[in-house]
Copies of this chain bind each other. A is one copy, B any other.
Amino acid sequence: MRDPIDTAAAMAYHPFQAHRPGALPLSAFVAAAQPSFFPALTFPEVASLSEPLEAGLHAALGRQHQPVHPRSLKSLQSDEGQDDDPKVTLDSQNLWSEFHKRGTEMVITKSGRRMFPPFKVRVDGLDETAKYILLMDIVAVDDCRYKFHNSGWTVAGKGDPEMPKRMYIHPDSPSKGEQWMSKPVAFHKLKLTNNISDKHGFTILNSMHKYQPRFHVVRANDIMKLPYSTFRTYVFPETEFIAVTAYQNEKITQLKIDNNPFAKGFRDTGNGKREKRNKQLNISSLHENRSKADQDCADSDDSCEQPSTSDPLYSPWELVSSPLMSTPTCQDENNIGSDSDDDLQDEDAAETGSSRTEHMSALSQKSEEILWKSALTMSNGNQDTTKDRTMFRMSDDMYSVEVDSSKNQMSEIKDGVLPLVSSLSLSAGHLQTLDFSSAHSQQFLKLGAPLLFNPGQLSVKPEAFSTTGMGHLFSSLPGVNNLENGGLSSQSITSPSPFMFQLSQHMLASQGISLSPFGGLLSYPYRYMAASAAIAPALPTCSATSTLASNHCFRSPRPWLRFSPYQIPNSVTSSQNHLRTTRSPGSSNSQSELSKSGSRNSSPVSDNHSHKSKAKQKSAPSRNTVKGSMNELQNIHNLVRGLDRPLPPQ
């Protein structure tokens, strides 16, 4: 049914690390990144292309570098078996594409807003018996602020500093591959907000900024093992969006109204100013026509709460692949997604089955750049220029990046290699958080929510975590119990490691770890927990002086509010990484479904992919690769928080 990966690209990887903003502008590294693509490789089973990863890594590391022994990391892996080959397809892809080509907007509110379309994926190729943790995050695509002008989005200046992005771990994690593959994996519990003081664990975004959701597959049977596990990251370009507090593009509004069941009240019953829009809204096919089994999507608690757009009068839209209305970089001032070119005009034309594939192909080059940029830089705006970068993407495909922190060698060339590297792959934001939010977290947050891993506090030997270990990794380890019992120690506060996870108590509980309320100044007490000294040696500095990475990151409250992404100093640590990139067919289905009233003769996107290999070759990875890697490392190692909690100034 769904075998997304059909193209491959490989790229040499050059590890890299220390970065001193100011002295060493990020853009320098970004510009050097030049991943190369190889022709499509039919995803080998467990192909593993061995290549040294440490080249120049330690040398580049200014300090704070605690070398990671691959063997140690290996032992930390909860599941190192390579007998899986995850394939991920985006659910309701055609709906996503419809939004994307018009310039998807996502409303962010103070109280938190869901995404629509819902981010839902189908996973295949997992080891049925192995446990996986599935998570997602949303990272900034660039460092630009946008504005909607003349029915199009334009860059309106430099972006605002990004709040720490949280890793949203699917509430069902960890679960067996069997379970994940049995039904779509939905993330509708993830909510977007613009409230920087959010205490629910929602993802905090900047309005009028562009973001890219990402999906990660981690083979681990315990959330506590996340840091030592391989991350396979999947990026669906069509899920890119601009965060807004109020809809700017009326077409997006109408698309939402027509497809979101909760907005059914606004569908034209002759009241609004909107006219007969029903005809063009036949895109909801995949989103609506999900089978009974599909409705049992794997999501937190309410079994697939996201109501299905079950309006029978909507017939499936054509399955457009990679949308063209991609976003410009900060330098680009050209409008994208302007309404004039193809919206209302070709509505009926689209219905007749006219394929947009060609049109999109023409813009694929640009799309690739953007997507790679977002994938590489984790979109925190850590680069001020984008023109220097040679990005790439495979049109009508989504990108997946696999980062294996336990391998000190070049990754296997699966379907493509992305210079996205991190010792832990917990990337996507200079401040990265693992957030187990959901209804659970919201409930548990009330008694003191996030758990932060402080590498310096856990000096347990990696070997202690045996592969046959029974989970509850830290709960029974010396030094960890102290943290668990004692609430928040001043030491933990003053020198939190950049590699910290924010966990909801619920998830922690099911993992054998719990939090205790911390009677501090905050309504949301924190607790710091050591993850392992082996994982995140490098740390970003957060002082205004922008010194090189030190272990005292975030000694000041919410440092990210003081600096722009470029100003936030970063440094990455060694950690021999195993890089593996796969590509999953994202919007490669160009089938068009003419019937708009049910008689669909083409299978839904996720069920019938034409595995076209459209891989493009690019130059071998150069500095850009390094840049990407560095950003990844930085992101991963960055402390991510997101709750409005003041930290001791020192």
Q: State which residues 487-517 of A face B: CB under 8 Å.
A: 505-507, 509-512, 514-517
A475 near B: Cβ within 8 Å?
yes
A611 near B: Cβ within 8 Å?
no
A72 near B: Cβ within 8 Å?
no
B512 touches A303 (CB 8 A): no
Chain B positions within 8 Å of A511 at CB level: 471, 510
A614 near B: Cβ within 8 Å?
no
B303 touches A442 (CB 8 A): yes
Q: What 0/1 pattern do residues 476 to 490 of A give for CB contact below 8 A with B?
A: 100001001100000
A302 near B: Cβ within 8 Å?
yes
What are some 30 contacts across the A-B interface (CB < 8 A)? Answer: A128-B485, A131-B475, A131-B509, A131-B512, A172-B440, A172-B506, A174-B509, A175-B505, A175-B514, A178-B447, A178-B516, A179-B447, A182-B517, A221-B475, A221-B512, A222-B512, A296-B443, A296-B447, A300-B440, A301-B302, A301-B440, A301-B443, A303-B446, A304-B443, A468-B476, A469-B476, A470-B470, A470-B473, A471-B472, A472-B472
B178 touches A514 (CB 8 A): yes
Q: Which 3 A-B pairs have the closest CB atoms?
A: A301-B301, A176-B514, A303-B443
Which of A128, A129, A171, A471 has its CB near the most chain B CB atoms (within 10 A)? A471
Chain B positions within 8 Å of A440 at CB level: 172, 300-301
A179 touches B514 (CB 8 A): yes
Chain B positions within 8 Å of A254 at CB level: none
Contact residues of A: prevailing secondary structure:
loop
A630 near B: Cβ within 8 Å?
no
A187 to chain B, nearest CB (A): 15
A579 near B: Cβ within 8 Å?
no
A484 closest partner in B (C-beta): B129
Could you list 7 further interchain pairs (A-B, Cβ under 8 angstroms) beyond the known A178-B517, A301-B302, A470-B512?
A173-B510, A175-B505, A183-B443, A302-B302, A469-B469, A470-B476, A471-B512
Chain B positions within 8 Å of A398 at CB level: none
B173 touches A509 (CB 8 A): yes
A439 near B: Cβ within 8 Å?
yes
B296 touches A446 (CB 8 A): yes
Q: State which residues 108-146 of A face B: CB under 8 Å.
A: 128-129, 131
Which of A176, A505, A515 has its CB near the most chain B CB atoms (within 10 A)? A176
Q: What 0/1 pattern do residues 298 to 314 of A give for CB contact below 8 A with B?
A: 11111110000000000
A231 near B: Cβ within 8 Å?
no
Chain B positions within 8 Å of A392 at CB level: none
A444 near B: Cβ within 8 Å?
yes
B484 touches A176 (CB 8 A): yes
A438 near B: Cβ within 8 Å?
yes
A314 to chain B, nearest CB (A): 26
Which of A300, A473, A514 has its CB near the most chain B CB atoms (within 10 A)? A514
A441 closest partner in B (C-beta): B303
Q: State which residues 245-293 of A face B: CB under 8 Å.
A: 293
> With A and B bound together, what is the CA distance between A516 and B180 in angstroms?
11
> With A and B bound together, what is the CA distance between A612 and B515 in angstroms?
35
B179 touches A472 (CB 8 A): no
> With A and B bound together, what is the CA distance between A503 and B505 in angstroms?
22
Q: State which residues 148-188 of A face B: CB under 8 Å.
A: 171-176, 178-179, 182-183
> With A and B bound together, what is the CA distance between A172 and B484 in angstroms?
18
A514 to chain B, nearest CB (A): 3
Q: State which residues 197-233 of A face B: CB under 8 Å.
A: 221-222
> With A and B bound together, what is the CA distance between A516 and B183 in angstroms?
13
B179 touches A481 (CB 8 A): no
A509 touches B303 (CB 8 A): no
A130 closest partner in B (C-beta): B514
> With A and B bound together, what is the CA distance between A511 and B175 in angstroms?
9
Pick the residue among B174, B470, B481 that contacts A222 (CB under 8 A). Answer: B470
> With A and B bound together, what is the CA distance between A303 and B513 in angstroms?
20
Chain B positions within 8 Å of A172 at CB level: 440, 506, 509-510
> With A and B bound together, what is the CA distance between A440 and B509 in angstroms?
16
A235 to chain B, nearest CB (A): 26
A304 to chain B, nearest CB (A): 7
A175 touches B506 (CB 8 A): yes
